[in-house]
């Protein structure tokens, strides 16, 4: 236990909490995080880190480095918000902040600063002259942008011995799940406009093509593997006039599957539908890859190291008032959401023969670490993460800490509302301490790093990393649907 080094996180608790609150106050979406980056960089420079900004060809990516020589350990931080999730802080009902449309509905205000807390404690350790380098990666655009995949394309994580991260959640746990690889593609249909009543025979509708493509893909869904997912959003419907045949339309597709190769196979099938519907409607179609990300490669050695630190770092102490507030947030979820969660919990309780999980109730605040059982086949999480791309370049692992009331959901107003609360701050600092404890342990345990690398090598046998094609540039999400 490296208590002396970890103490700095409590000593600087006010500054760290303020930093996270400032990011919360400036919710910026993928690749537009200029203010958030400035806030974080100012702090890191002041703390004596060597900052490089921008980094790896991404305007709102940066690195902050301290130390010398090997091992080189990366900490991944995020700071992007979600569109249309504006919500007042510490408010038990849904209410927007006047004049703000975005909100931190995934807790990335905490995620970025929790990583900085860890970097501060590791720096404290390295200041003694111990060998090793810590690099904090400021990773933009996780939501819908896969910022880390763009950074990985430039080899950002290749020289690392390992990388660690965390994510705010409803529980404390070492993440064992693997994630879905994905690709996001914009289909752009062009037709011919005409008066919809006067001379419809001359019109060729791009909107018809978009709608037919979606129908085609809905039929395709019956003939794909169970774990694959196809989602779409019409981002440009061609205008607001039903009396004009729409000559242009765009639909954004997100295709997911457990493996990158499966995503590529599905993409080819979706492309065929797009081409078929263009042929049928006598329109033209072009498509543009917006981004992609890879599935997560787990690393049991690093997971065990994180678990070891969870057992050593004292859990935050939560007050009666905080627990009471958490319970109130839990009750704000709709009955349907709660029913779904209840089924989920009872299923988990049946599957997991653990006394902790047996105790899980809908409105308990989860102030315990979920027991870790090494799983040969890692469970598949429903979504994707660009941490996946980091895990294709070096051994990578993550934790979650209990930041929100149970049943807060994902990307919800409840998460935005709790993002500046005392429980969230405690969870953020707790995550920082667990990560720092793990990193200092690893810096002093070359054998464990060696084992983690051996496991990585074994898992990567026969696998080839497929980076985002060179010509694709990171694009702010609000730009989509405006191209023509």
106 binds Zn ion (CB under 5 A): yes
Nearer to Zn ion, 106 or 186 (CB): 106
Nearer to Zn ion, 138 or 249 (CB): 138
Is the preceding omega at residue 272 within 30 degrees of 0, hence cis? no
Nearer to Zn ion, 106 or 296 (CB): 106
Give the angle 420-426-432 at the CA atoms, nearest 5°.
Answer: 110
Nearer to Zn ion, 161 or 386 (CB): 386
- H or E element: which one contains 172? none
Cβ of residue 78: shortest distance to Zn ion, in angstroms? 7
Distance (Å, rounded) from C-alpha 101 to C-alpha 86? 5
Cβ of residue 252: shortest distance to Zn ion, in angstroms? 20
Site map 164..203 versus Zn ion, x via CB under 5 A:
----------------------------------------
Within its chain, how far is the Cα of 289 from the centroid?
19
Cβ of residue 142: shortest distance to Zn ion, in angstroms? 6
Cβ of residue 2: shortest distance to Zn ion, in angstroms? 28
- Describe the strand order of the beta sheet including 181-190 as a list of residue ranges: 229-236, 248-257, 181-190, 284-293
- H or E element: which one contains 85? none
Stretch that binds Zn ion, among 9-17, 106-114, 213-221, 315-323 (CB under 5 A): 106-114
Footprint on residues 208-267 left by Zn ion (CB under 5 A): none
Cβ 427 vs Cβ 398: under 8 Å: no
Nearer to Zn ion, 111 or 267 (CB): 111
> What is the DSSP secondary structure assignment for residue 221, as one 8-state letter?
G
Neighbours of 282 (CB within 10 A): 13
Nearer to Zn ion, 110 or 423 (CB): 110
Look-up: residue for tokens 């006394």? 355
Cβ 426 vs Cβ 436: under 8 Å: no
Cβ of residue 82: shortest distance to Zn ion, in angstroms? 9
- Report which of 300, 302, 301, 322 is spatially closest to residue 434, judged by C-alpha positions: 302
Cβ of residue 469: shortest distance to Zn ion, in angstroms? 25
Q: Residues in contact with Zn ion, total (CB under 5 A)?
A: 1
Stretch that binds Zn ion, among 46-54, 104-112, 291-299, 420-428 (CB under 5 A): 104-112
Cβ of residue 117: shortest distance to Zn ion, in angstroms? 18
Nearer to Zn ion, 8 or 111 (CB): 111
Cβ of residue 303: shortest distance to Zn ion, in angstroms? 19
Distance (Å, rounded) from C-alpha 36 to C-alpha 359? 39
Question: 457-464 contacts: CB < 8 A, separation 24 or more?
Answer: 459/297, 459/298, 459/299, 460/297, 460/392, 463/392
Ranked by CB distance to Zn ion, the top (closest) residue is: 106
Nearer to Zn ion, 70 or 229 (CB): 229
Cβ 117 vs Cβ 425: under 8 Å: no
Q: Is 62 exposed, middle or buried (0-12, 13-18, 19+ CB in 10 A)?
A: buried
Cβ of residue 281: shortest distance to Zn ion, in angstroms? 38
Site map 63..102 versus Zn ion, x via CB under 5 A:
----------------------------------------
Nearer to Zn ion, 74 or 107 (CB): 107
Site map 113..152 versus Zn ion, x via CB under 5 A:
----------------------------------------
CA distances from 403 to 146, 152, 286, 308, 373 (A): 23, 29, 43, 20, 22
Nearer to Zn ion, 2 or 137 (CB): 137
Which positions lie near Zn ion, rule CB under 5 A? 106
């Amino acid at each position: 236990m490296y208590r002396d080094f970890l103490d700095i996180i409590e000593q600087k608790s006010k500054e760290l909490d303020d930093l996270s609150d400032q990011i919360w106050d400036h919710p910026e979406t993928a690749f537009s995080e200029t203010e958030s980056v400035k806030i974080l960089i100012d702090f890191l420079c002041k703390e004596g880190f060597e900052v490089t900004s921008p980094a790896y060809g991404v305007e709102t990516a940066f690195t902050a480095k301290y130390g010398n020589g090997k091992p080189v350990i990366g900490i991944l931080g995020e700071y992007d918000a979600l569109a249309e999730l504006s919500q007042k802080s510490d408010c038990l009902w849904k209410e927007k902040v006047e004049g703000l449309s975005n909100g931190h509905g995934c807790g990335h205000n905490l995620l970025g600063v929790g990583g900085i807390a860890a970097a501060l404690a590791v720096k404290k350790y390295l200041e003694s002259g111990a060998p090793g380098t810590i690099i904090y990666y400021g990773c933009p655009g996780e939501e819908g942008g896969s910022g880390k995949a763009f950074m990985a394309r430039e080899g950002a994580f290749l020289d690392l011995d390992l990388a660690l991260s965390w994510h705010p959640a409803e529980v404390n746990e070492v993440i064992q799940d693997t994630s879905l690889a994905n690709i996001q593609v914009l289909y752009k249909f062009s037709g011919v406009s005409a008066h919809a009543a006067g001379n419809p025979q001359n019109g060729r509708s791009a909107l018809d093509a978009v709608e037919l493509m979606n129908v085609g893909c809905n039929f395709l869904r019956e003939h794909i593997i169970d774990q694959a997912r196809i989602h779409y959003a019409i981002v440009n419907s061609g205008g607001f006039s039903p009396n004009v045949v729409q000559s242009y339309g765009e639909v954004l597709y997100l295709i997911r599957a457990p493996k990158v190769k499966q995503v590529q196979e599905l993409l080819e099938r979706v492309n065929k539908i797009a081409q078929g519907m263009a042929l049928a409607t006598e329109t033209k179609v072009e498509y543009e890859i917006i981004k992609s990300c890879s599935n997560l490669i787990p690393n049991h050695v690093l997971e065990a190291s994180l678990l070891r630190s969870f057992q050593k770092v004292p859990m935050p102490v939560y007050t009666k008032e905080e627990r009471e507030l958490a319970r109130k947030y839990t009750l704000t979820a709709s009955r349907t959401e709660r029913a779904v969660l209840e089924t989920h919990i009872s299923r988990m309780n049946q599957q997991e023969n653990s006394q902790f999980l047996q105790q899980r109730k809908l409105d308990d605040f989860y102030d315990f670490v979920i027991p870790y059982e090494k799983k040969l086949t890692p469970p598949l999480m429903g979504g994707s993460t660009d941490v996946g791309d980091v895990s294709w370049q070096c051994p990578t692992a993550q934790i979650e800490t209990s930041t929100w009331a149970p049943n807060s959901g994902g990307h919800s107003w409840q998460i935005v509302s709790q993002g500046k609360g005392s429980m969230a701050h405690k969870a953020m600092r707790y995550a920082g301490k667990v990560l720092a404890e793990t990193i200092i342990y690893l810096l002093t345990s070359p054998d464990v790093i060696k084992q983690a690398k051996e496991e990585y090598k074994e898992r990567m046998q026969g696998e080839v990393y497929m980076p985002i094609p060179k010509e694709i540039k990171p694009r702010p999400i609000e730009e989509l649907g405006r191209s023509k």
